[in-house]
C-alpha cells in the first residue's frame, strides 16, 4: 500500500453501496478497501488502529436514522470520529439475460426487494435473497437462467453485461443514503462544517431537552438535528445525539460545549467535518403528513 493511500474498512463484499460510496469522498483519492463481515468490526478496527478509516451508512430516505449503527458508534467506541459525509443517490433497475416476460423469479438484497414490492407483485415473481445487488447480478450470470432477473442500480447491472429491462422499478424512485467516513482525527475547519455531539444531561428532569436547546440558541449555534436514545443502565435518562452547524474549533460551538459541561451534562464529540454539498436525504413523500393542521384551518 502506497503511503498516500488510505486503508478503508467497509461491510463487504466489494460492489455493495457502501463500497461505491467511498469514491464520493473528496478527501479520499487513493485507497485500499478492506471488506469486513459486520459494522461492529468496521468500528472496532478503526477504534484500535490509528491511520485506519471506515465507512458507515447512517441514514436513508426510507428508514431515516439507522439507530442500530449509530448506537454502536456512540456506545462501543472511544477513539472514533466522523471525518466527513456524502449522500449516495441511486435508482433501481431490473436486469436479466433475455426477456422480462420470461421472468418467474427475482433476486436482490432484501431491502431492495422490499422497496420494489409493487414491481414484484404485479409480475407474480418469486423472491430470492442475495448479500448485495452485485451478488444478485452475479447469480443471474452464473446460473444462466432466463427466468431469473436481478434488481440493482444501473451502474451495477451494467458491469455484468446484463440486459436492462426496466430502468426504474423502486416504489419510491431514487434511494438516497447518507454515509460517514470515520477515523481517529478531527479534520481542519473548512468554513462550511458540521459538528456531531452526544449529550447526556446530569439528571433526568422535566425540561432537560429544552435546556440543551437553549444552550445552543444562547451560543448562536444552529441545531440541525437531534435524536433521543434512552439509557438502559439508568432508567429514565437519555443521551441526545445532536448535529449542529460549525466546527468544534469555532468559538460559538466551543462555548456551547463548555456551557453544557457547566450545567452538569456529559458531552462526547463524535466529529467535526465538512458539510455535504449535494442533495440531502429526504423522505420519499412530497406533501405534509396526512391529517396535519395548518394555520389556515384555525383562521390564523
Q: How many residues does the chain have?
A: 300
Start-end of CATH 3.40.190.10 domains in the chain: 1-89+175-185, 92-173
Three-state SS sequence of 52-91: EEEEEEEEECCCEECHHHHHHHHHCCCCCEEEEEEEEEEC
- Domain spanning 1-89+175-185, CATH class: alpha beta
- CATH topology classification for 186-277: Alpha-Beta Plaits (3.30.70)
Angle at 217 between CA 66 and CA 178, to 5 degrees: 20
In this prediction, residue 106 carries a pLDDT of: 97
Start-end of CATH 3.30.70.260 domains in the chain: 186-277
Spatial neighbors of 103 by CB under 8 A, at least 6 apart, are 96, 123, 125, 147, 148, 149, 165
Task: Write out the chain's pLDDT in tens, 300 residues.
Answer: 444 578 999 997 777 889 989 999 988 888 899 999 999 999 999 999 999 999 999 999 888 899 999 999 999 999 999 999 999 999 999 999 988 889 999 999 998 999 899 999 999 999 999 988 989 999 999 999 999 999 999 989 988 989 999 888 998 878 899 999 999 999 999 999 999 999 999 887 788 889 999 999 999 999 999 999 888 766 668 899 999 999 999 999 999 999 999 999 999 999 999 999 998 998 877 788 888 888 877 666
Sheet arrangement for strand 93-96: 126-129, 105-108, 148-152, 93-96, 163-166
Q: Other CB atoms closer than 10 Å to residue 218's CB: what's the count? A: 11
Q: In whole angstroms, how far apart are CA 259 and each of 189, 211, 270?
A: 22, 11, 18
DSSP state letter for 16: S
pLDDT digits (tens, 9 = 90+) for 3-22: 457 899 999 777 788 998 99
d(CA 257, CA 269): 9
pLDDT digits (tens, 9 = 90+) for 190-232: 999 999 999 999 887 788 889 999 999 999 999 999 999 888 7
- CATH topology classification for 92-173: D-Maltodextrin-Binding Protein; domain 2 (3.40.190)
Amino acid at each position: 500500500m502506497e503511503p498516500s493511500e488510505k486503508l478503508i474498512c467497509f461491510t463487504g463484499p466489494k460492489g455493495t453501496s457502501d463500497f461505491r460510496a467511498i469514491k464520493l469522498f473528496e478527501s479520499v483519492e487513493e485507497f485500499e478497501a478492506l471488506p469486513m463481515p459486520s459494522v461492529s468490526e468496521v468500528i472496532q478496527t478503526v477504534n484500535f488502529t490509528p491511520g485506519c478509516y471506515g465507512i458507515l451508512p447512517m441514514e436513508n430516505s426510507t428508514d431515516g436514522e439507522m439507530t442500530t449503527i449509530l448506537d454502536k458508534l456512540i456506545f462501543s467506541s472511544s477513539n472514533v470520529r466522523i471525518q466527513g459525509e456524502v449522500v449516495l443517490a441511486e435508482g433501481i433497475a431490473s436486469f436479466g439475460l433475455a426477456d422480462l416476460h420470461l421472468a418467474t423469479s427475482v433476486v436482490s438484497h432484501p431491502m431492495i426487494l422490499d422497496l420494489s414490492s409493487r414491481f414484484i407483485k404485479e409480475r407474480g415473481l418469486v423472491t430470492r435473497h442475495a448479500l448485495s445487488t452485485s451478488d444478485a447480478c452475479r447469480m443471474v450470470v452464473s446460473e444462466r437462467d432466463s427466468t431469473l432477473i436481478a434488481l440493482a442500480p444501473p451502474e451495477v447491472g451494467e458491469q455484468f453485461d446484463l440486459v436492462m429491462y426496466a430502468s426504474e422499478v423502486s416504489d419510491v424512485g431514487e434511494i438516497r443514503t447518507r454515509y460517514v467516513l470515520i477515523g481517529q482525527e478531527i479534520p481542519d475547519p473548512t468554513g462550511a462544517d458540521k459538528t456531531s455531539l452526544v449529550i447526556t444531561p446530569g439528571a433526568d428532569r422535566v425540561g432537560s431537552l429544552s435546556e440543551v436547546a437553549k444552550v445552543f440558541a444562547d451560543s448562536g449555534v444552529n441545531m440541525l438535528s437531534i435524536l433521543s436514545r434512552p439509557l438502559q443502565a439508568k432508567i429514565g435518562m437519555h443521551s441526545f445525539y445532536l448535529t449542529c452547524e460549525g466546527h468544534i474549533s469555532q468559538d460559538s460551538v466551543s462555548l456551547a460545549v463548555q456551557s453544557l459541561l457547566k450545567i452538569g451534562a456529559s458531552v462526547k464529540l463524535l466529529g467535526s467535518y465538512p458539510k455535504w454539498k449535494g442533495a440531502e436525504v429526504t423522505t420519499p413523500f412530497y406533501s405534509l403528513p396526512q391529517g396535519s393542521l395548518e394555520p389556515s384551518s384555525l383562521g390564523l
